[in-house]
Amino acid sequence: MNKVLITNIAKYVGQEIELNGWVANFRSSGKIAFWQIRDGSGFCQAILDVKVLSEEKWQEAQKVTLESSVKIIGVVAKHPKKEEYELQVKDFSFYQIAKEYPISKKDHGPDFLLDNRHLWLRSSHQWAIQRIRNTLILATYEYFNQNNFIKIDSPILTPSACEGTTELFELEYFGDKAYLSQSGQLYLEAAIMAHGKVFDFGPVFRAEKSKTRRHLTEFWMMDAEMAFADLEENMRVQEELVRYMVKSVLEKNMQELAILERDIKPLENILKPFYKITHAEAVKKLHELGSDIKEDDDMGADDETILTKQYDNPIFVTHYPKGVKAFYMKRDPKNDSRVLCADLLAPEGYGEIIGGSQREDNFDELRKRIEEFKPKQSAFSAQGGPASGWEWYLDLRKYGSVPHSGFGFGLERITAWVCGIAHVRETIPFPRTINRLNP
């Protein structure tokens, strides 16, 4: 007997198969019962007929409950009208008859669902989101593999801050202090001097106090870094990568996008070139849209929302004021108050999905930046002392320094946009936020 997954069921029309899954829904007319089965790979209807089953089995079938786990033996048939397949049940047995399932069809509040995240993962929306997330992960590995990048795993326990000191998780490290990584970038800058083009992909941590729809305290970041690449090339690679990722979802996940009722038109625009505007141009546009953002301000979440609602494809915002960006970004040689950076914003109100820049590659300039950053940094450096803990990073500018650039995406932000859902917490299997560590 073939043990078959629903995703492959079309190949078995007319044949008897074994299917293992859970009962996601059921109804009965008294003589015939319909069970909607999900097995992780898809959904299919099983038809139980009083005339086909033994009396004893038919009685057993009356015990079914939502989420009961079953083994079914049946014959595959194609739905007369739709591209769907059904199973005419010959025999079945329960692995377990589920207790009353807490999640029902009625609208539950987000807190209830998040408290029951271990069960909520099974619902069709959540199933679709994780499948799309998986495609985005695979597409990332594929793109980099096809473009001569190698994967370098950066550490999670680190001696100092990468991005900002206010969002660090600190922990005891054998009588010293250590910090959970905010981004693997600095380590990738070392690795490019050995491998040219590299990426990492793993969990990073930010002790974000913000309770917004786009902030998690633990999320998955992909950092990429390239030797001999300037800001333009950095943006070209990001555009190609994001296009590749979204195209993969459109090729593999139409069923999931339909479950999520995602309008796919904005995703199909991904084939067109992305927009590019400078921070100064964005500020001008934002003023027209009613924002009171100042020339030297960072773009707030609200600014990103109103700006990106104007667009139908991702937008690079370049050349931010130096004061709002990280110490490692290279200054614009044409305007010292700006840095050679770009944030990639997703359209439709979503906002930042990627942060990236050309890096400062000159030893003296970088040391100056670290010195400026030092008052904040030294308190957050395990070794203590001026610029200490940073010698290794400065070394990279001493031994064969090269122009280089890189970027990092937040997987949950991209997944939220592609899925068309409001909050990043649904895009990660077990979200961690300022007020949630459970389950």
CB 424 within 8 A of CB 102: no
Q: Which of 46, 61, 277, 354 binds ligand 4AD (CB under 6 A)?
A: 354
Nearest C-alpha neighbor of 424 from the set 415, 217, 172, 9: 415
Q: Using the rule CB under 5 A, is 314 a contact of Mg ion?
A: no
Applying CB under 5 A, what is the total number of residues that bind Mg ion? 1
Q: Using the rule CB under 5 A, is 355 a contact of Mg ion?
A: yes
| Partners of residue 205 on adjacent β-strands | 218
| Partners of residue 283 on adjacent β-strands | none
CB 211 within 8 A of CB 435: yes
CB 89 within 8 A of CB 49: yes
Give me Rg for the CA atoms of the chain: 26
Q: 3-state DSSP call for residue 405?
A: strand
Residue whose Cβ sits closest to Mg ion = 355
Question: At which residue do the structure tokens 């001026």 appear?
Answer: 386
E strands, 206-309, in order: 218-227, 275-278
166-205 positions binding Mg ion, by CB under 5 A = none
User: What's the min distance (Å) between Cβ of 221 and ligand 4AD?
Assistant: 5
Nearest C-alpha neighbor of 180 from the set 209, 145, 154, 148: 154
410 binds, among ligand 4AD, Mg ion, none (CB under 5 to 8 A by kind): ligand 4AD
Q: Using the rule CB under 6 A, is 133 a contact of ligand 4AD?
A: no
Measured in whole angstroms, the distance separating CA 286 from the mean position of its chain's CA atoms is 28
409-438 positions binding ligand 4AD, by CB under 6 A = 409-410, 412-413, 424
Residue 120 or 220 having the CB closest to ligand 4AD: 220
Q: Which of 139, 162, 257, 346 binds ligand 4AD (CB under 6 A)?
A: 162
Q: Using the rule CB under 5 A, is 321 a contact of Mg ion?
A: no
Residue 160 or 182 having the CB closest to ligand 4AD: 182
163 binds, among ligand 4AD, Mg ion, none (CB under 5 to 8 A by kind): ligand 4AD
Report the alpha-carbon distance of residue 265 to residue 302 in Å, rounded. 24
Question: At which residue do the structure tokens 């998986």 appear?
Answer: 134
CB 140 within 8 A of CB 201: yes
Contacts of residue 327, defined as CB under 8 A and 6 or more positions apart, other chains included, come to 369, 370, 372, 373
321 binds, among ligand 4AD, Mg ion, none (CB under 5 to 8 A by kind): none
Nearest C-alpha neighbor of 358 from the set 315, 387, 401: 401
CB 70 within 8 A of CB 26: no
CB 330 within 8 A of CB 361: yes
Applying CB under 6 A, what is the total number of residues that bind ligand 4AD? 25
Residue 185 or 378 having the CB closest to ligand 4AD: 185
CB 237 within 8 A of CB 359: no
CB 37 within 8 A of CB 66: no
Residue 159 or 355 having the CB closest to Mg ion: 355
Site string for Mg ion, 76-115 (x = CB under 5 A): ----------------------------------------
Residue 129 or 424 having the CB closest to ligand 4AD: 424
Q: Using the rule CB under 6 A, is 303 a contact of ligand 4AD?
A: no
Q: Which of 91, 208, 312, 371 binds ligand 4AD (CB under 6 A)?
A: 208
Q: Which of 39, 67, 86, 163 binds ligand 4AD (CB under 6 A)?
A: 163
Piece in contact with ligand 4AD (CB under 6 A), picked from 69-77, 153-161, 212-220, 241-249: 212-220
Query: Where does residue 51 fall: left (phi above 0), alpha (psi -120 to 50 degrees), or beta otherwise?
Result: alpha
Phi (first) and psi of residue 396, to 5 degrees: -60, -25
Q: Using the rule CB under 5 A, is 74 a contact of Mg ion?
A: no
Residue 238 or 313 having the CB closest to ligand 4AD: 238
User: What's the min distance (Å) between Cβ of 265 and ligand 4AD?
Assistant: 23
Longest dimension (CA), the chain: 86
176-205 positions binding ligand 4AD, by CB under 6 A = 182-183, 185
393-412 positions binding ligand 4AD, by CB under 6 A = 406-410, 412
Residue 135 or 217 having the CB closest to ligand 4AD: 217
Sites of contact with ligand 4AD (CB under 6 A): 162-163, 182-183, 185, 206, 208, 215-216, 219, 221, 223, 352-356, 406-410, 412-413, 424
